[in-house]
Structure 1
Amino acid sequence: MVAETAKVRVDSEFAPLRSVVVSQSEFRAPANAAILGHSMPVEDSAVEILEAVWGKDFGEVYPEKQKAWEAERDELAAVLTRHGVEVLRPRLFNDTEKEAAGDTGYANFFVRDPWFTVGEHVIEGVLQFPHRRMEVLPSRQLLLDRVVPSSARYVALPQPEASPLGHPGGGPFLEGGDVLVLGKEIFVGCSGMATNELGYRWLAKYLEPFGFTVTEVTLPEHVLHLDCAISLIRDGLMISCPARLPAGLPAALRDWEQIEVSEDEAAAMATNGLSIDPSTYLTDPEFERVGKELEGRGITVEYIDFSVSRLFGGAFRCTTQPLLRAD
């Protein structure tokens, strides 16, 4: 029998979490905004802070915020461990990688996006923002150690063509924050800022022979990922932001009970909590209103202050990537 920690599988967004990777907290901003091509999605309160770090390491400019950022991730790891979840961490970037990044900058702060797990498939994606293109590298040895010996498939998207800075090219682009798993139903968000049409079509072509149905979910241009609009809590219950779903919910989710959040709440990451299992959910105390709604439906809610992580446009789901989520 294969040891549980050797298994690699994700059955849904809320199946019991058994093994998970928790992000590091590394960020060097591009030398200037033009390199990005379009605005980086951050909280309004973070604009002034991030304006001070172009071409610089965040921790060098804001050492106290860096310590708080690392402490947030350490506290998350501790809470998950307390719930019996195996916690793994990517390594930090090495000097060679940092030097290679040059003016583009680098990020090693949201492990959800550079690779993701669907059923027994681990997929390396391709990220649009140039400073995030190398973000998979700190996880690569971990994937080789844990995924290759398992029965899971391990594949990667085709690399995009070379293009001038500020112009990402045609892709394909596919990011884990856009991919939600519900058994054999897979939902893929497309705003064009992260995952694009070609990335969605690649995933559908790859997964459909294995019995998956892959559904595209349209997002407004300013919304980075699908998990910034939807959170699946348990079978039949979700958090959603209708303002971020211009075409409405996918058919498979339309009968679900919804706890609705506003555009402002969603922009602050109200939908980016993390289910530990169908009855336990992690979120930020900023979203106590949502937490009380969940508690009223029998969900135990744990709170961790994630205010620094949220400055970068992500929270609990962005900070984690499951290797095993299964009953």
Structure 2
Amino acid sequence: MIKLNINDEISPLRAVILGRADSNGPVPKLEDAYDPKSAEHIKAGTYPKDEDMVAEMEAVAEVFKKYGVKVYRPHSIKDYNQIFSRDIAFVIEDKFIIANILDDRSMEIEAIEHVINQIDPSKVIEFPENAHIEGGDVMPWGDYIFVGTYYGEDYPSFITARTNMKAVKHLQKLFPHKKVKSFSLRKSNTVADENALHLDCCFQPLGRGKAIIHKEGFLIEEEYQWLIDFFGKENCFHITKNEMYNMNSNIFSISPDVVISEKNFTRLNTWLREQGFTVEEVPYAEISKQEGLLRCTTMPLVRD
């Protein structure tokens, strides 16, 4: 049995699900793109190739091996994108929560049945049909659960809005002892550098009291300010629009002192090292073309 335990984003990692990229299928048609960044690369003929993404994910698997982390992988489904394991489910405390994601992606959860079968069935929770939620929007942080959402009444018109207020309220019901804090994010179906697909695309708490943040990802100034006050301005690394577009906030903590980051994030990685972090650099630029990075491809199951 897997004894789930996740209370934050940074405690020492013991077990994780890492997505896979070996059979993504043909390049999607433009009208089938789920986000503006993928669409951009489909148009430009630079959509990532399976073998390049496989190599990138293996580099991450190697880092996990180095730190003694148990890694689970989904079973392979032919011609199916299974890279972003964070979207399909997430763990808070000892509960495994199956996300309500885009219908086209429903088979992804079946590919991790072999993991779910090792979890106490009473701890596996499904959200109600009309409460949309994806793991990239959900961050447990001690007494808090930070949730990215979109408050606008035009929510249904955004394929990039993945977590709604019904889900935020449902999360509060499931975890009455936690403070569920929601943030309305900037959405765009067409302009990639103006779209915060998930909360982890514009914000990430780190160890050592630090955080990465992109101000323009937040639609409501007070909500952005709340985070700055919570972490302290001097502890926040502000990323530019271009760095947000390249997914600089979407790195991943193995422990309070160790992070996995993309090797091209020069400014960020320099700052992280200055703050005393060990930075494990990996190539992930091909995967980032689908508007996701390190946090999106990993789903932690157990942290100490």
TM superposition score category, shorter chain reference: 0.7 to 0.9
Question: Is residue 147 of structure 2 the alignment partner of residue 182 of structure 1?
Answer: no
Question: Is residue 127 of structure 2 the alignment partner of residue 157 of structure 1?
Answer: yes
State the one-letter code of the partner of 1:179.
V
Question: Is residue 80 of structure 2 the alignment partner of residue 121 of structure 1?
Answer: no
Is the 8 Å Cα contact of residues 30 and 131 (structure 1) preserved in structure 2?
no
Normalising by structure 2, report the TM-score. 0.85
Instruction: Report the CA distance shift for 1:156/1:40 in structure 2 as closer, same or farther (over 3 A).
Output: same
State the one-letter code of the partner of 1:184.
D
Report the Cα distance in structure 1 between the residues aligned to 2:113 and 2:45, rounded to whole angstroms.
Answer: 28
Pairwise CA distance, 1:47: 3.8
Aligned to 2:35: 40
Report the Cα distance in structure 2 between the residues aligned to 1:294 and 1:186, rounded to whole angstroms.
Answer: 24
Is the 8 Å Cα contact of residues 24 and 50 (structure 2) preserved in structure 1?
no
Secondary structure at the aligned position of 1:80 is classed as: helix
Kindly report which structure 2 residues correspond to 1:55-70, keeping only aligned pairs within 5 A, or say none: 65-70=49-54
Unaligned regions of 5+ residues in structure 2, if any?
156-160, 188-194
Aligned to 1:223: 196
Aligned to 2:65: 81
- Alpha-carbon deviations, 1:154-193, whole Å to 9, x = none? 111123xxxxxxxxxxx32100000011012001101341
Is the 8 Å Cα contact of residues 208 and 257 (structure 2) preserved in structure 1?
no
Is the 8 Å Cα contact of residues 180 and 186 (structure 1) preserved in structure 2?
yes
- Alpha-carbon deviations, 1:51-101, whole Å to 9, x = none? 98xxxxxxxxx7xx211111111111111110111111111126xxx7xxx
Report the Cα distance in structure 1 between the residues aligned to 2:127 and 2:238, rounded to whole angstroms.
Answer: 34
State the one-letter code of the partner of 2:236.
Q
How many residue pairs were aligned?
A: 282
Is the 8 Å Cα contact of residues 274 and 282 (structure 1) preserved in structure 2?
yes
Question: Is residue 247 of structure 2 the alignment partner of residue 273 of structure 1?
Answer: no
Instruction: Report the CA distance shift for 1:43/1:107 in structure 2 as closer, same or farther (over 3 A).
Output: closer
Pairwise CA distance, 1:49: 5.1
Pairwise CA distance, 1:142: 1.1
Pairwise CA distance, 1:246: 2.6
Aligned to 1:242: 215
Report the Cα distance in structure 1 between the residues aligned to 2:116 and 2:87, rounded to whole angstroms.
Answer: 14
Instruction: Report the CA distance shift for 1:253/1:12 in structure 2 as closer, same or farther (over 3 A).
Output: farther
Report the Cα distance in structure 2 between the residues aligned to 1:322 and 1:92, rounded to whole angstroms.
Answer: 19
Pairwise CA distance, 1:28: 4.0
Pairwise CA distance, 1:214: 0.8
Is the 8 Å Cα contact of residues 28 and 42 (structure 2) preserved in structure 1?
no
Aligned to 1:164: none
Aligned to 2:291: 313
Instruction: Report the CA distance shift for 1:250/1:214 in structure 2 as closer, same or farther (over 3 A).
Output: farther
Report the Cα distance in structure 2 between the residues aligned to 1:229 and 1:44, rounded to whole angstroms.
Answer: 20
Which of residues 4, 7, 17 is equivalent to 2:3? Answer: 7
Is the 8 Å Cα contact of residues 19 and 84 (structure 2) preserved in structure 1?
yes
Pairwise CA distance, 1:43: 6.0
Instruction: Report the CA distance shift for 1:69/1:51 in structure 2 as closer, same or farther (over 3 A).
Output: closer
Is the 8 Å Cα contact of residues 90 and 299 (structure 2) preserved in structure 1?
yes
- Alpha-carbon deviations, 1:213-254, whole Å to 9, x = none? 111111001221000011111152101111112323373652
Report the Cα distance in structure 2 between the residues aligned to 1:286 and 1:122, rounded to whole angstroms.
Answer: 33
Is the 8 Å Cα contact of residues 162 and 197 (structure 2) preserved in structure 1?
yes
Which of residues 172, 178, 183 is equivalent to 1:204? Answer: 172
Is the 8 Å Cα contact of residues 84 and 296 (structure 2) preserved in structure 1?
yes
Secondary structure at the aligned position of 2:86 is classed as: coil
Pairwise CA distance, 1:34: 4.5
Pairwise CA distance, 1:140: 2.1
Which of residues 125, 129, 143 is equivalent to 2:116? Answer: 143
Aligned to 1:262: 240
Instruction: Report the CA distance shift for 1:140/1:278 in structure 2 as closer, same or farther (over 3 A).
Output: same
Pairwise CA distance, 1:133: 2.9
Unaligned regions of 5+ residues in structure 1, if any?
53-61, 99-105, 160-170
Percent identical across equivalent pairs? Answer: 26
Note the aligned Cα RMSD (angstroms). 2.4
